[in-house]
Chain A
Amino acid sequence: MLNIIACFKWVVDEADVKIDAKSRALLMERVGYKISDYDRNAIEEAVRLQEQHGGNVVAATVGPSTAKQCLKDALSRGPERADFINDPSFVDLEPEQTAAILATAIKAKEEYDLIICGEGSSDLYAQQVGPALAERLGIPCATCVNKLTLAESKKEIIAERKLDDGMEVVSMPLPALVTVLPDINTPRIPTLKQVLGAAKKPVDNITLNDLGQTYKPCLQTTGILAATMERRRLKFGADEKNILVIIGALLKEGVIA
């Protein structure tokens, strides 16, 4: 029996973001929202482990009160209930704030063996919330996980980590936290009955008032502009002499040093 918390973030669907060609401003008037891509893997992994070993899955999210739409989406993917930690001020939170809010709520009301987060969110991809949450809860954490197995003793979780220079397998005593990569599984598409049944699942509405503290940001965003790719439109020949010219151009642009 495992009690698992799957954390997820409700993010702007990047496919809907348009760019104003002149000002490079992001046009967000007609954007849709979705569960952050890797968080869907987190929920799927939690449900998979629960199906295998029994127990409970709670989907937890922090966001503005208007993000209520995310709950049916998350619950249709298998968790039994959701923690909706919300306040109108919970917009554009920094990862550290999100981790602190999640930690307060989880400490106050949840019993858990395992917390699963996505490796990073589709919007910011800061990769901070998971490790910061583990730190605040005082539990071990493994990031970049692409395989998760419960040890036979049922007291440890074995995580395979995909690192730049190879694979690492770690074992952690429970309770623990992992952040998962998309390779770990293929999230199921909810069936029609799962979608229709989501509304019947319980949601704990947790407000800033319930948390009993405030969470100040440390950063100030001064502006967001779309990235541009400028083409230099340089032409080179394919002969030996031109290789030096190419290298010279790359050095000049700072592509190589």
Chain B
Amino acid sequence: MNFNLTEEQELVRAGVREFCQKYVEPLAEKVDEEAYFPMETVKKLTEQEWTGIPYPAEYGGAGADYLTYIIVVEELSRACATTGFTLECHTSLASYPLYKFGTEEQKQKYLVPLCKGEMLGSFALTEPGAGTDAGAASTTAVLDGDEYVLNGSKMFISNSPVAGVFIIIAMTDKSKGTKGLSAFIVPGGTPGLKVGEHLNKMGIRGSVTAEVVMKDCRIPKENLLGNEGQGFKIAMMTLDGGRIGIAAQALGIAQAALDESIQYSKERVQFGKPISSFQAIQWMIANMATDVQAARFLTYHAAWCYDQGLPYSKEAAMAKLFASETAARQTNRAIQIHGGIGFIKGHKVERLYRDAKITEIYEGTSEVMRMVISGNLLR
């Protein structure tokens, strides 16, 4: 067993930390306060070649392993969860299905510019009436000559207002339930595709999330991703990998909560001594650090399974479940350690607390994670 990261992974981590100090941390408050999408940071992520980390160089990626990508998401999220998630959504949700199921032509046309950071990607599965119950999707795709015609609406679609390409899941045969779902590549700006207003969220406020409406949206037949009826499988496999990314995001948030708590407890003086000298605080810090470390091991292990070509669905679900609940619990704890000041807008722990919540919901709720885990165990 080897717990050491490679020299390259360590160097990437050091590089991302420096990057965050220079470009991400200084913007994080504005991103949250003004729900500001940090496009300038996205451009810089591209310059660092972090927009296609786990995909091969022939498709414009860096050809690194998944764990390296996970470390980048973790460190970005530690500084700004919006930035970490924007990269996660782009890499795991939009690029992965193209990489795994795309034809060579589709990869050259869409995956290459995504990996090179020439455009951002978005993934549209959720609908107003179909969240966890993906089979209830009402968006339809009907073949009409050489084109598919898409109609319906998708909800809470991350990156959608800035996306150059969408992976959209739509029903091609309602009678087959989830087996009637198919995946489509829809370029941004396709006539009939409309992206709504940026939704006003509780956390990750800079991440642009909107409704995507398709009204007689026509795309060429060759934009079907995989085969008809494969949409549910494509979506579930995409979310499996994405969950490791969300675990990394949650891990970054939880680590930041711990960092802030350690620093503050050593500085804050009450009854003539730093509050870190009180056992109540010491125990909170000990519990936080232990949870964060456990979340890190689960997350890195899931990424390692992915890299080794081992099954990782259960491991990804465990990592996401534990890391997201750790983030929610420990950001709460961090505010407790900070007391009143932690409750004030503009303080980092207050932002972390709000940013943590979504990690328990998107890309599969905690309840779905428990279903996935138990489903794997009780087969």
* Cα distance, A4 to B47, chains bound together (Å): 26
A34 and B8 within 8 A (CB): no
Cβ contact within 8 Å between B64 and A192: yes
Q: Residues 7-50 of chain B: 1 if any A CB is under 8 Å from the residue's CB, otherwise 0?
A: 11011101100110010000000000000000000000001111
From B7, B18, B57, B64, contact of A189 by CB (8 A) = B18
In the bound complex, residues from chain B placing their C-beta under 8 Å from that of A72 are 7-8, 11
> Taking the complex as formed, is B237 at the interface, i.e. its CB lies under 8 A from any CB of chain A?
no
Assess whether B157 is interfacial by the CB under 8 Å rule.
Answer: no
Inter-chain contact A73/B11, CB cutoff 8 Å: yes
Partner of A192, one of B10, B14, B22, B62: B62
Min CB distance, A177 to chain B, in Å?
Answer: 28
Q: Is B63 an interface residue (CB 8 A)?
A: yes
Contacts of B15 in A (CB 8 A): 189-190, 195
- Closest Cβ of chain A to B89, distance in Å, is 19
Q: Do A195 and B18 touch (CB < 8 A)?
A: no
Interface string of B78-108 (1 = CB under 8 A from A): 0000000000000000000000000000000
Question: Is B208 part of the contact surface with A, judged by Cβ < 8 Å?
Answer: no
Nearest A residue (CB) for B57: A193
Q: Does B204 contact A (CB under 8 A)?
A: no
Residues in B whose Cβ lies below 8 Å from that of A31? none
The residue of chain B having its C-beta at the shortest distance from the C-beta of A13 within the complex is B14
Neighbouring B residues of A73 by C-beta, 8 Å:
11, 14
Per the bound structure, the CA–CA distance linking A191 and B63 in Å amounts to 13
Contact B19 A189, beta carbon cutoff 8 Å: yes
Question: Could you tell me the distance in whole angstroms from the C-beta of B303 to the nearest C-beta in chain A?
Answer: 16
| CB atoms of A69 and B49 under 8 A apart | no
Q: Which residue of A lies closest to B69 (CB)?
A: A192
A226 interface residue, CB < 8 Å from B?
no
Contact A76 B11 (CB under 8 A): yes
Q: Determine the chain A residues whose CB is within 8 A of the CB of B53 once the complex forms.
A: 192
Task: Specify which of B14, B19, B50, B63 is in contact with A196 (CB 8 Å cutoff).
Answer: B63
Q: Report how many residues on chain B are interfacial, defined by Cβ distance under 8 Å.
A: 20
Near A by CB (< 8 A), chain B positions 282-319 give: none
Complex CA gap A155/B269 in Å reads: 61
Q: Is the CB of B19 within 8 A of A195?
A: no
A144 to B8, CA, bound (A): 33
A199 contacts partner chain B, Cβ-Cβ < 8 Å: yes
The residue on B at minimum CB distance from A73 is B11
Contact A190 B11 (CB under 8 A): yes
Residues of A within 8 A of B64 (CB): 192, 196
Q: Which residue from chain A places its CB closest to the CB of B48 in the assembled complex?
A: A191
The distance in angstroms between the C-alpha atoms of A113 and B114, with both chains bound, is 43
Chain A: interface size category: 10 to 19
In the bound complex, CA of A160 to CA of B295 (Å): 51
Decide if A191 touches B47 in the complex (CB within 8 Å): yes
Chain B residues positioned under 8 Å from A198 (CB to CB): 8, 11
Measured CA separation A73–B10 after assembly (Å) = 10
Residues 184-203 of A, flagged 1 when their CB comes within 8 A of B and 0 if not, give 00000111110110110000
Chain B, residue nearest A186 (CB): B22
Rounded to whole angstroms, the CA-CA distance of A192 and B68 in the bound complex is 10
CA distance A191 to B15 in the complex (A): 8
How does the 8 Å CB contact mask read for B175-201 relative to A, with 1 for contact and 0 for none?
Answer: 000000000000000000000000000
Q: Report which of A189, A196, A199 forms a contact with B48, defined as CB distance below 8 A.
A: A189
Check A192–B18 contact: CB distance below 8 A. no
A76–B64 CA distance with the chains assembled, in angstroms: 15
> Which has the most chain A C-beta neighbours within 10 Å: B22, B47, B49, B63?
B49
B10: chain A residues within 8 A (beta carbon): 69
Query: Closest CB of chain A to B217's CB: distance in Å?
Result: 35
Q: In whole angstroms, how far apart are the Cα atoms of A76 and B7 in the complex?
A: 11
Among B8, B22, B47, which residue has its beta carbon within 8 angstroms of that of A195? B8
For the complex formed, measure the closest distance between the CB of B121 and the CB atoms of chain A, giving whole angstroms: 18
Which residue of B has the minimal Cβ distance to A194? B49
Q: Is the CB of A196 within 8 A of B7?
A: no
Q: Which residues of A contact B62 (CB under 8 A)?
A: 192-193, 196
CB pair A69–B19 under 8 Å, yes or no, is no
Distance of A195 Cα from B11 Cα, bound (Å): 7
Interfacial chain A residues near B22, Cβ < 8 Å:
189
Q: Give B63's nearest chain A residue, CB to CB.
A: A196
A191 to B64, CA, bound (A): 12
**What is the bound-complex CA distance between A196 and B18, given in angstroms?**
18
> Closest CB of chain A to B320's CB: distance in Å?
25
Q: How far is the CA of A73 from the CA of B15 in the complex (A)?
A: 10
A145-161 CB mask vs B (1 if < 8 Å, else 0) is: 00000000000000000
A86 to chain B, nearest CB (A): 16
- Report B's interface with A, CB cutoff 8 A: 7-8, 10-12, 14-15, 18-19, 22, 47-50, 53, 57, 62-64, 68
Q: List 6 A-B contacts (CB under 8 A).
A: A189-B18, A191-B47, A191-B48, A192-B49, A195-B8, A199-B7
Binding site for B on A (CB under 8 A): 34, 69, 72-73, 76, 189-193, 195-196, 198-199
Beyond A192-B12, A192-B68, A198-B11, 8 additional pairs, beta carbon < 8 A = A69-B7, A189-B19, A190-B11, A191-B48, A191-B49, A192-B50, A196-B62, A199-B8
Q: Considering the complex of A and B, which 4 residue pairs feature the smallest CB-CB distances, nearest first?
A: A192-B49, A192-B62, A191-B49, A189-B15
